Amino acid sequence: MTTARSLISSGSEFEERIGYSRAVVVDGWVHVSGTTGFDYRSMTISEDVVEQTRQCLRNIEEALREAGGTLADTVRVTYMLPEPADFEQCWPTLRRHFGDIRPAATMISCRLADPRMRIEIEVTARLGSGGGQPT
C-alpha cells in the first residue's frame, strides 16, 4: 500500500542547499521541521528572542495552513535554545499560541546553526485533531 506524501516548502534557500522540506504531510500527520525566526521573505532575523519566537510561529502557522491545518492541530512541540535563560522570556508568547492546545512539549538547550538564531521550534500536528483554538 502506497501512502501519499506531500512536501511543503517555505521558499527558504536553506531547504534547497541542505535538502529538506519545511514540512512533510503523511497520513494526516504534519511534521514541521525545526523552524527559526528568519523572515523568509526578507531573509532577515531579529536580534530579540521574543520576536524570533513570534516569527517562528508565523513560519510554522504558514506551513500548517499549506498542509490544511492550524496550530490547534499541534500535538507535540520541541523548543531548542542556545541559552536556556532566554526561554522564560518566550513563555507569554508560547502560552498565547499553545495555552488552549496544550501539546506535549520539550525544551532542549543546544547550539543552533547560525549564532544569530536564539530559538528554533519544531512541531508535529495531526490534521483535524484541533485540541483548541489558538488566539
Render pLDDT for 67-95 as a digit per residue (tens, 0 to 9): 999 999 999 999 999 999 999 999 999 99
pTM of the entire structure?
Answer: 0.91
> How far is residue 87's CA from residue 32's CA, in Å, rounded to a whole number?
20
> How far is residue 83's CA from residue 95's CA, in Å, rounded to a whole number?
20
Render pLDDT for 6-51 as a digit per residue (tens, 0 to 9): 999 887 778 888 899 999 999 999 999 999 999 988 889 999 999 9
Q: 5-8 and 74-81: which strand pairing? A: unpaired
